[in-house]
Structure 1
């Protein structure tokens, strides 16, 4: 089992987002210090893989995660939600003990 999984809905959205970028674009997900709960997720479009990146692939979509962030995200699922309050990537992280209403900040 992969340390981090990508749902089918998230994979479809990653491909949609990257189709508007220059060729070779990839989505990088990282955990940074900050946010209202202590840690926050960052989503960036990049063109280079680092040798130690975790590469998560599903249905042709590729997401990169650096090794430090993987430790905070182990067992997580990256999903995409489209509901009344908006559209966004959502990370369901079993390591998080709390999260804020925005969904991008969490505590361990």
Structure 2
């Protein structure tokens, strides 16, 4: 695997496919990293209509995960998962690059 590889777990792929189907959109999940959050950076998820020119694209079970070039440096090697717990259901990023995280799991620092 190259160092910039990203992985979309089968459970996350299934969830993206279900959401996209309900909204009549292609099964493409965009992961972006923005400044902010309680630890410095925060993850942002959304459905995309198509990959853009500088996007990194990975595919699991026919569902694509796209990440822009700037965000990719911060999430290289990550696994995007979908977890359901008593606290609710959410996409979760397992980021080996994060030096610190936060309790809510939606922000990190490097």
TM-score by length of 1: 0.93
**Is 1:57–2:59 an aligned residue pair?**
yes
CA distance in 1 between partners of 2:42 and 2:73 (Å): 14
Give 1:47 shift.
1.3
SS in 2 for 1:41: strand
Pairs within 5 Å for 1:49-88: 49-88=51-90
- Give a deviation string over 1:4-42, Cα, whole Å, max 9, x none: 111111111111111112343622110100001000000
The alignment yields a C-alpha RMSD, in angstroms, of 1.3
Aligned pairs, how many? 108
Which of the residues 97, 100, 104 maps onto 2:99? Answer: 97
Which 4+ stretches in 1 moved above 2 angstroms?
22-26
- Structure 1: give runs of 5+ residues left out of the alignment: none
Q: Which residue of 1 aligns with 2:21?
A: 19
Q: Distance in 2 between matches of 1:52 and 1:43?
A: 17
Distance 1:24 1:94, change over 3 A: same
